[in-house]
Amino acid sequence: MADFGARARLRAKLEAVSVYLPKHFSIEDEAFAVEMVTENPFATLVSMGADPWISHVPLLWDAEQGLLGHLAKANQHCRALEAGSSIAIFHGPHAYVSPTWYQTSGQVPTWNYAVVHAHGQPKILGDEASLSVLRRMVAAFDPEYVLDEDHLRRQSAAIVAFAIPVHRWDIKLKMSQNKPEADRLAVIDALRRQGGLAEQAVAAMMLDTGSSAR
């Protein structure tokens, strides 16, 4: 007998995902997502108001509050923050993969990459919490900079700080997992020979990921 309940649950799960996610590129690992966010904090923030608003902002991870960030108060995106859910998109290592690098024939050009989508409902923060976000931003990205508290408070009047408690992570790790091991190793070797930092990072992530091909 067909398991219609299982099919319905699978359909609901697939409909909830915000990105095309073949099973061999999908992982469910919050620790990996947090590591990606921490190492690649510059995010694309998409908020679902009457029309979608998109901003490009650094976001910090906080284990209790979720993602922390701020927008300029003049940015109309601020009005969309509390109107509905938002998605913060974080890009990890990525690089072009040539079909000439594979051991097997009939391959096509492609791109390997890692991406994390963090879903949540933003919460606008109060004055003191906003100041805390600004202090943490400076400490994270410019720890040698000496903050002037009076100046910081004046500048905070021009921003809207927010927290996004993350209720769902969509993680896509496209690292040739669907290819035979010989092909993956050939791609890793070719990426290393390219010499660029992006290519080196993808090669390293491919080594950590392994193959799902049978």
Give pLDDT, residue 136: 96
Compute the distance between CA of residue 209 and CA of residue 123 in angstroms, rounded to an integer: 35
Q: Quick check: helix, strand or coil at residue 202?
A: helix
Q: Tell me the β-bridge partners of 170.
A: 117
Residue 45 in contact with residue 15, Cβ under 8 Å? no
Give pLDDT, residue 82: 85
Tell me how far the alpha carbon of residue 66 is from its chain's centroid: 13
Q: Tell me the per-residue pLDDT of 150-176, one tens digit each, with 9 for 90 and over.
A: 989 998 999 999 999 999 999 999 999
The residue ranges of the chain whose pLDDT is under 70 are 1-17, 211-214
Residue with tokens 């896509």: 172
Give pLDDT, residue 18: 74
The full set of domains in the chain, from first to last, is: 17-209 (2.30.110.10)
Task: With 0.75 as the threshold, say if the pTM is over it.
Answer: yes
Give pLDDT, residue 6: 52
Retrieve residue 193's tokens: 């020979």
